[in-house]
Amino acid sequence: MPYLGLGDYAALHLQAFIFQQQAAGPLLPSAPVTLTPTEFEQTKHVYFDHCAGCHGLYRKGATGPNIEPTRTQQIGTDGLGAMVRYGTPGGMPAWGLTGTLSEDNITKLASYLQMDPPTPPPLGMPEIQASWNLIVPVASRPATPQRANWENNFGVILRDASQVAIYDGGTKQEIVRLSVGFAVHILRSSATGRYFYAIGRDGLVSMIDLWASTPNIVATVKGCHDARSVESSKFAGYEDRYLIEGCYWPPQYVVFDGLTLEPLARNDLPMQSITGETLPEVRVASIVASSFEPLWVVSLKESGYVGLVDYSQPGFPLVSTIASEKFLHDGGWDHTGRYFLVAANASNKMVVIDTQTRSLVTSFTTGKLPHPGRGANWEDPVYGWVNATAHLGEAKVSIYGADPAGRPDVAWKVVREITLPGSGSLFHKTHPNSPWVLFDMALSTDATKKQICAYSKASGALDRCFTVATNGQATHFEFNQAGTEVWVSDWASNGSLIVLDATTLAEISRITGVTTPTGKFNVYNTTHDIY
Ligand code: DHE
């Protein structure tokens, strides 16, 4: 067997392909298919909707590997078709098996991937201004909350319906469903909690007023063609004042008025990487807001820089770019709100940024494709304050010390490794009042995708794993305001929301008839960064 010089990730894909080809039986050789201009245009949208998030518009790779034509032509039409159809254990979804893409889509995609990528269009300030729609002016909104317990509302992402549903966290009643951007991704709260901002993958930001008697959309705007994150200004004196939208495309961030979404500034991203190359694509991944300074912390995925945007300065400039690791993705605050802990997922590392000194503290290897979400903070009986990440590419949780003041000996070092029964863990979460840290295995290729696991903070070990989902995958957790209940999604077209007692983990309620529920955001916990 010759030495192929493949990295871990490529070897994993090759292994998966061989296994899956064995399982599927011999594949008939097929010639590369050429695409008509119409087919090319249609397939461009299929790629954009299903592939670009992980592989990039220019296909240079980030969460997923590089799939530029030089590589895809080597894999060939059959190989590409098999990967798209059956997925891989490295985290690539089985788009064919799940029925998401038709055989026709897959064949055309396998050809499209071997052709040069088209150049995506810019989005300038005049177009952003033109997209702004102020539906309810500030003066016409209620002066006081019109509903009790609005801070215990849950905003639930109904991904494939491009909707957000608002639930009462006490009664579990659905209050309203609102249409928002395409394949809506997440919600973030304004600093007072009054507004939810929903971000669609088409870059549309929708602002929801939770003080209204029935929550409603009061403004929309589109600052990007493709986006995954927004965040509000949270520093004292700036509450509900500004909102930042980070783009996946074009390489820019846009700042809006936090009460009206009027566009205020559009800033280009630096296109150099930490190793000096000029990149065609740099995407804004996670964004967090400091509580100690008027700063947003933005993860610049491909370039490996963590940027600091100062919203107290005219023009909302990027005032610092801190070199860290390439392929920055999801992250959140440590328990003090000083350190930003972010995954450089395709580098298999976690990065620690000190926002007070505006510098990189360290980065450390955890496992294959760390995916912490916003992470989880709790006190370990041996190691003091810790934080954790699970992984997309292996069945492992890495718990690391996160208390440089109290336990400098173990700060930013992996102190415990826990094996989960399945890989493909997307999210985990805890609450100060819960004895557990809960993990999903949503992208696992076996029955564990329907399960969740409870890690005991007290014993430092997995306590139990159990099935919660019936129709799809169990994914994402959100606690209620008091931390006494936790909501889990059964992610399916006929999905549901399962509410568990946060101490006994017994099922309290199951809300059915929910279309592809993914992320859930409790108003109080999202506002106060409780995770
Ligand atoms: Fe997400 C967070 C990007 C796929 C559900 N996701 C994030 C963040 C980023 C990101 C950068 C951090 C935002 C922040 O904190 O500011 N997600 C991406 C992708 O690029 C990716 C891999 C592929 C894509 O094309 O979008 C992707 N994400 C998914 C999904 O498939 C999920 C499971 C369902 C969906 O929306 O399609 C999904 N991502 C989520 C959720 C969060 C998230 C629920 C927020 C977690 C939290 O608790 O804050």
pLDDT 10s digits, 455-503: 999 999 999 999 999 999 999 999 999 999 999 999 999 999 999 999 9
Output the CA torsion 399→405→406→407 (10° steps): 50
- Is 481 within 8 Å of 168 (Cβ atoms)? no
Residue 345 binned pLDDT confidence (cut-offs 50, 70, 90): very high
Nearest-angstrom CA–CA distance, 406 and 410: 10
pLDDT, tens digit, 9 for 90 and up, residues 176-202: 999 999 999 999 999 999 999 999 999
**Cβ 185 under 6 angstroms from ligand 1:** yes
Model pLDDT, residue 18: 75
Tens of pLDDT, residue by residue over 125-165, are 999 999 999 999 999 999 999 999 999 999 999 999 999 99
Question: Residue 62 — very low, low, confident or very high, per pLDDT cuts 50/70/90?
Answer: confident
- Does residue 229 surpass a pLDDT of 70? yes
Under the banding of pLDDT at 50, 70 and 90, the label for residue 91 is confident
Separation between Cα atoms, residue 207 and residue 205, nearest integer Å = 7
Q: Is 476 in the pocket of ligand 1 (CB under 6 A)?
A: yes
Token pair of 10 as six digits: 């490529």
pLDDT of 49 reads 86
pLDDT, one tens digit per residue, over 357-414 is: 999 999 999 999 999 999 999 999 999 999 999 999 999 999 999 999 999 999 999 9
Neighbours of 264 (CB within 10 A): 17
Diameter of the chain measured on Cα atoms: 72
pLDDT of residue 22: 73
195-199, strands of its sheet edge to edge: 133-134, 216-222, 204-209, 195-199, 186-189
pLDDT attached to residue 34: 87
Q: Which atom of ligand 1 is nearest to the CA of 477?
A: 48
| In the predicted structure, residue 259 carries a pLDDT above the cut 70 | yes
Looking at the predicted structure, is the pLDDT value of residue 94 above 80?
Answer: yes
Q: Measured from the CB, is residue 518 less than 6 Å from ligand 1?
A: yes
Q: Rounded distance, CA 206 to CA 200, Å?
A: 8
Active site residues: 51, 54-55, 92, 329, 371
- What pLDDT is attached to residue 300? 98
% of the chain surpassing 90 pLDDT: 88
d(Cα 279, Cα 277) in Å, to the nearest integer?
Answer: 6
- How many whole angstroms from 361 Cα to the centroid of ligand 1? 25
Report whether 403 contacts 385 (CB < 8 A): yes
pLDDT band at 8 (very low <50, low <70, confident <90, very high): low
**Distance from Cα 286 to the centre of ligand 1, integer Å:** 9
